[in-house]
Structure formats: structure tokens, C-alpha cells
């Protein structure tokens, strides 16, 4: 396997280490001459330059001193200094060469994860196509390595994003789009642009736990709005909140919300756009999932109905092109200038070569075909997962039936605490997303978000069945009267998404 780094830096440090050890141990004493550069190079089978680098390193640290045309000599009081050099070099980390560097993480990583929201399965994306785009951009745009790109991002990507936004029903201008380090980073900057610490932000309930972490990190307060699993945030509840609370911003995922996968009907989206204009309050709209839907009609963003710039739309292609490329975007309406300034001032810079590569990938004719393939794959997979849940989870379990996306939302019966279930699963190398993560209250402590964005094979399917078994044991522990037989029978009594509507309570 090709190595990622040359050996040179380690070599010169190894040679410096050996000399320092000799000096620290007293084997080489003050005033003694080090082996000549040529001799040392020959002995160690390295180049003269490497030995010079080693001796210079020792010189810098006061261990040796060069004399004109005579070589390097051990300085006075050098034993303590040499011992310091030995410690520093021995303490230095080795740079892994061409091997996975996550060895330390592997132990922490579960065997099967239903918790992560990022699409990881190798079937989803064509890494080779991305590699080609990156290498091509690196070749054609190598000049950008020696220049800071425009702080808002390269116009190529901003225009490609604007072109894609046509599919969300939005006519955006590339010049008003700012490229970010991803969608969460875009949301973070929007919040910073329109709020100050202590301000109140309205969110969905349940919502993406990353938003809750972010609000806390920015010292913002959240008001959670009831959210219907099919039609999204409750507009009457929102209006009531706007009438009675000093809300400074809304942070919503109107299309394929996370974790419910609800989609606001177009009439609701239009009404929401009217509402934020009427109350003059910014809506931060996350459209990261919209492209996963099959039609432009369903993909349409609230931004499409925003004529006055009250909607700040944030997206990325982490769910559709590559989670690892780490680029997102924002069109911040009347706050476009502020966003551009924030990005520059806070130094959340992005790389031009990756931007060109992503622009290239987005404007390839195959992008829509790729979306359709991805959509079909996930539809099939979520169907299989729902069947397994039906077969293995306790009586009375309910699960949604999302039109797209990577996750299912599961509601367990009774008083089951999914934090306990999480601990039981973790002990067996399986992670799940307990409902409590998605809310500031205990409202969803009996719920689970299960993600199918990772690999999906026999091992994962067995793990899902095992989660169901553990959930059954929990339920049995709670209610011993429920007999095993009854449970087995009820597993066929699967309840469809139409029944999952118990959330729209204020």
C-alpha cells in the first residue's frame, strides 16, 4: 500500500534521539566531537541532509555546537539538555502512514449503530466519482492553494447551489449565497446574526438534538412547538407563541423534519412565510433533507414563498452527495451581508478546491438520477426495517412511515424509558437514539429514533431484532401480566403511521 508520508522527519528525529541518548548517559561527554556528518550518514543508511537536520536540531536545543570546518561538539552542561531532547522526541507522536487513524476510536464505536444520522453506507455514494472530481479540481484550480478564496465561497459553487434551488422552487442569486462548513455551521451563523445571548428561539418538538446543543452553546433559550408527525409544526401554536412570547427567531425543518420526518403541506408553508413576514421575525429554514424527496413539488421550501427576505435558508449536500466533503450553504435573505461578514470575521473558512469539486458533482447530469436511486434504496430499506420492528418489538409499539430519509421514529408502549434501553443495547455493542435527546422535556422518553444510514446486512438486521427483544424484556419487567403469548400474537398487530399523531399537544 502506498505510504502517506515520507520517512524523513522520523529519521532525523531518530538520529537526533540516538545522539542525545549517548550524551544524556554520559557516553559522549562535554567537548567531545560527534561522528562526522558523512560517517553518520553512512552508518545510518540515510542522506547527509538528514544527518545535518538531526545535528541542527541538537544545536537548536543547546546540546551541541558546530565549529567551523571541524564538525559538531558536545556543549558544556549538555547532559540535562540532552535528557530533555530525549524526553521530547520519545514523547512525540508517530504520524500514521497510510493506515486508518481511528484505531483509538474503534473501541468506542459500537458494532452496530442505529444512532448516527449521517449516511455512511458505501452503497449510497460513489466515492470514486467524488475522488475524480476532487483530483480534477485540484489540478485545474491549483492556483487557489496560494490564495484565500472569496470569503463567501467560489462563485462556481454558489451558482451551482442557486441552480439546485430551482428544484426547491426558489429563484436565488449565487451572489447572495454564502458557502459554509456544513449546514449546522450555517444555522449557527444565522442564529448569531439575528439573536443575542438570552434570546428566545422557537423550535419543533421533537427536534434535532444538534440544534439543542447549538442553542445551549450560544446561550439561547428554546420554546418547543407541538409538531404533527405528518404536517409538521402547528401553525396555530406558532401564532400563539408569537403573540405571547418575545421570540427572536424560528429554527425549523419544514420538509422531512428530524426526527419525525414530517412534511408541511404547501398551504402551511405559504402560511408560515406570511406569518414570519407579518411578525417580522426571521425563519431559519433547514433544507438539508429536501432533495431526498422524489418531486420538486414536495421538495418546495418555505423560501419559495418568501418575497421580503425573512427566511434564512440553510442546506448542505451531506445527505445526498458526501457527508465527508463538509460544505454547506446559506441564503440569508435580508441578513445576507451579515452572514458574509460573520463567516469572514470568525474565520470559518472553506476550501476552494473542494468547492469546485462539489459544484462539478452537483451540475453533473447524473445527480438527479443518483437521488432517485438513493431514494428507492432507502424506501426499500426502511420498509424492511419496519417489518423487523413489527416482528420483534413489544405490543403496542408504533412507528412512522416516512416518505424518504434515513430514519424511523418509534414509540414504545407504556412507561418504558429508552435511556434504559439505550444502556442495555450499548452493553451489547448496539447504539440507538433515545427520544429524550430530541427534546428539553421528558415528553419523548418512551421514543426512539432509529437510523438506517449505516451498513444494512444480516448483522444489522439481527441487531435490530435484538433491540426489539431488549425492549420486550423492559416492557415485561414493567408489566408481568402481559404474557409472552399475548406479545407474540400482538407482533402482527402493527400500527400504521396514521396512528402516530399523539404529539400535537401544547
Q: Which is nearer to a copy of itself, 11 or 404 (CB)?
A: 11
Identify each DSSP E strand in 75-116 by its residue range: 112-113
Q: Which is nearer to a copy of itself, 23 or 472 (CB)?
A: 23
Q: Which is nearer to a copy of itself, 79 or 164 (CB)?
A: 164
What residue has cell string 484505531? 103
- CB of residue 477 vs a copy of itself: minimum separation in angstroms? 35
- CB of residue 195 vs a copy of itself: minimum separation in angstroms? 12
Hey, is 435 helix, strand or coil?
A: helix
- Pairwise CA distance, residues 86 & 94, whole Å: 15
The sign one gets for the Cα dihedral 438, 204, 404, 299 is negative
* Other beta carbons within 10 Å of 363: 14
The three cell numbers of residue 308 are 421580503
- CB of residue 6 vs a copy of itself: minimum separation in angstroms? 5
* Other beta carbons within 10 Å of 92: 12
Q: Which is nearer to a copy of itself, 8 or 489 (CB)?
A: 8
- CB of residue 155 vs a copy of itself: minimum separation in angstroms? 4
Q: Which is nearer to a copy of itself, 131 or 442 (CB)?
A: 131
- CB of residue 265 vs a copy of itself: minimum separation in angstroms? 16
Phi, psi of 122 (to 5 degrees): -65, -20
- Pairwise CA distance, residues 358 & 373, whole Å: 19
Q: Strand 71-74 vs strand 64-67: parallel, antiparallel, or unpaired?
A: antiparallel
365-404 burial, b at 16+ Cβ within 10 Å, e below that, comes to eebeebbeebbeebeebbeebbebbbebbbbebbbbbbbb
- CB of residue 398 vs a copy of itself: minimum separation in angstroms? 30
- Pairwise CA distance, residues 223 & 384, whole Å: 36
- Pairwise CA distance, residues 134 & 130, whole Å: 6
**H or E stretch covering 224:** strand 221-228
- CB of residue 179 vs a copy of itself: minimum separation in angstroms? 12
Cis, bond preceding 492 (omega within 30 deg of 0): no
The residue among 27, 127, 45, 131 whose CA lies nearest residue 83 is 27
The three cell numbers of residue 31 are 567537548
- CB of residue 310 vs a copy of itself: minimum separation in angstroms? 20
Identify each DSSP E strand in 97-199 by its residue range: 112-113, 177-180
- CB of residue 280 vs a copy of itself: minimum separation in angstroms? 23
**Could you write out the DSSP letters of every residue in 228-269?**
ETTTEE-HHHHHHHHHHS-EEEEEE--BS-TTT--B--HHHH
- CB of residue 192 vs a copy of itself: minimum separation in angstroms? 8
- Pairwise CA distance, residues 122 & 346, whole Å: 34
**Could you write out the DSSP letters of every residue in 405-426?**
SSEEEEE-STT--HHHHHHHHH
Q: Which is nearer to a copy of itself, 165 or 261 (CB)?
A: 165
The residue among 204, 210, 203, 201 whose CA lies nearest residue 231 is 204
Q: Which is nearer to a copy of itself, 98 or 477 (CB)?
A: 98
- CB of residue 84 vs a copy of itself: minimum separation in angstroms? 9
- Pairwise CA distance, residues 136 & 132, whole Å: 6
Q: Which is nearer to a copy of itself, 61 or 491 (CB)?
A: 61
Q: Which is nearer to a copy of itself, 139 or 484 (CB)?
A: 139
Q: Which is nearer to a copy of itself, 122 or 484 (CB)?
A: 122
The residue among 126, 161, 184, 150 whose CA lies nearest residue 370 is 126
How many residues in the chain? 506
Amino acid at each position: 500500500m502506498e505510504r502517506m508520508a515520507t520517512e524523513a522527519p522520523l529519521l532525523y528525529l531518530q538520529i537526533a534521539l540516538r545522539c542525545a541518548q549517548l550524551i544524556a548517559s554520559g557516553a559522549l561527554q562535554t567537548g567531545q566531537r560527534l561522528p562526522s556528518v558523512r560517517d553518520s550518514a553512512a552508518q545510518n543508511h540515510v542522506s547527509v541532509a538528514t544527518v545535518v537536520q538531526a545535528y541542527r536540531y541538537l544545536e537548536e536545543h543547546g546540546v551541541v555546537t558546530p565549529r567551523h570546518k571541524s564538525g559538531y561538539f558536545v556543549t558544556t552542561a549538555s547532559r540535562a539538555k540532552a535528557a530533555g531532547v530525549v524526553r521530547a522526541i520519545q514523547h512525540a507522536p508517530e504520524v500514521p502512514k497510510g493506515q486508518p487513524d481511528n484505531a483509538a476510536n474503534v473501541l468506542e464505536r459500537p458494532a452496530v449503530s442505529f444512532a448516527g444520522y449521517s449516511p455512511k453506507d458505501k452503497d449510497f455514494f460513489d466515492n470514486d466519482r467524488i475522488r475524480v472530481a476532487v483530483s480534477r479540481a485540484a489540478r485545474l484550480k491549483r492556483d487557489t492553494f496560494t490564495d484565500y478564496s472569496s470569503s463567501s465561497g467560489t462563485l462556481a459553487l454558489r451558482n451551482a447551489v442557486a441552480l439546485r434551488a430551482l428544484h426547491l422552487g426558489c429563484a436565488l442569486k449565487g451572489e447572495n449565497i454564502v458557502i459554509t462548513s456544513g449546514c449546522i455551521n450555517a444555522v449557527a451563523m444565522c442564529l448569531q446574526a439575528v439573536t443575542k445571548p438570552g434570546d428566545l428561539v422557537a423550535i419543533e418538538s421533537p427536534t434535532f438534538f444538534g440544534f439543542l446543543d447549538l442553542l445551549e452553546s450560544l446561550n439561547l433559550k428554546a420554546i418547543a412547538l407541538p409538531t404533527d408527525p405528518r404536517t409538521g409544526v402547528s401553525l396555530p401554536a406558532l401564532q400563539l407563541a408569537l403573540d405571547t412570547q418575545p421570540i427572536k427567531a424560528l429554527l425549523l425543518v419544514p420538509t422531512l423534519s428530524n426526527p419525525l420526518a414530517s412534511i408541511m403541506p404547501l398551504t402551511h408553508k405559504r402560511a408560515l412565510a406570511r406569518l414570519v413576514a407579518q411578525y417580522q421575525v426571521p425563519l431559519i429554514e433547514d433544507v438539508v433533507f429536501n432533495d431526498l424527496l422524489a418531486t420538486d413539488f414536495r421538495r418546495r421550501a418555505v423560501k419559495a414563498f418568501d418575497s421580503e427576505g425573512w427566511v434564512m435558508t440553510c442546506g448542505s449536500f451531506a445527505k445526498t452527495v458526501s457527508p465527508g466533503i463538509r460544505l454547506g450553504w446559506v441564503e440569508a435573505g435580508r441578513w445576507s451581508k451579515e452572514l458574509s461578514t460573520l463567516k469572514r470575521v470568525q474565520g470559518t473558512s472553506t476550501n476552494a478546491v473542494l468547492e469546485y469539486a462539489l459544484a462539478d458533482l452537483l451540475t453533473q447530469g447524473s445527480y438527479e438520477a443518483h437521488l432517485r436511486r438513493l431514494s428507492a434504496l432507502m424506501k426499500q430499506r426502511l420498509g424492511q426495517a419496519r417489518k423487523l420492528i413489527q416482528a420483534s418489538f413489544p405490543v403496542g409499539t408504533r412507528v412512522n412511515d416516512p416518505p424518504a430519509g434515513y430514519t424511523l421514529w418509534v414509540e414504545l408502549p407504556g412507561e418504558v424509558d429508552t435511556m434504559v434501553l439505550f444502556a442495555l443495547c450499548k452493553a451489547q455493542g448496539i447504539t440507538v437514539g433515545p427520544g429524550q435527546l430530541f427534546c428539553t422535556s421528558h415528553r419523548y422518553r418512551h421514543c426512539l429514533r432509529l437510523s438506517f444510514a449505516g451498513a444494512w446486512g444480516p448483522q444489522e438486521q439481527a441487531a435490530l431484532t435484538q433491540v426489539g427483544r431488549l425492549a420486550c424484556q423492559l416492557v415485561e419487567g414493567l408489566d408481568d401480566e402481559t404474557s409472552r403469548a399475548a406479545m407474540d400474537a400482538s407482533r402482527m398487530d402493527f400500527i400504521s403511521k396514521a396512528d402516530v399523531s399523539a404529539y400535537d399537544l401544547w
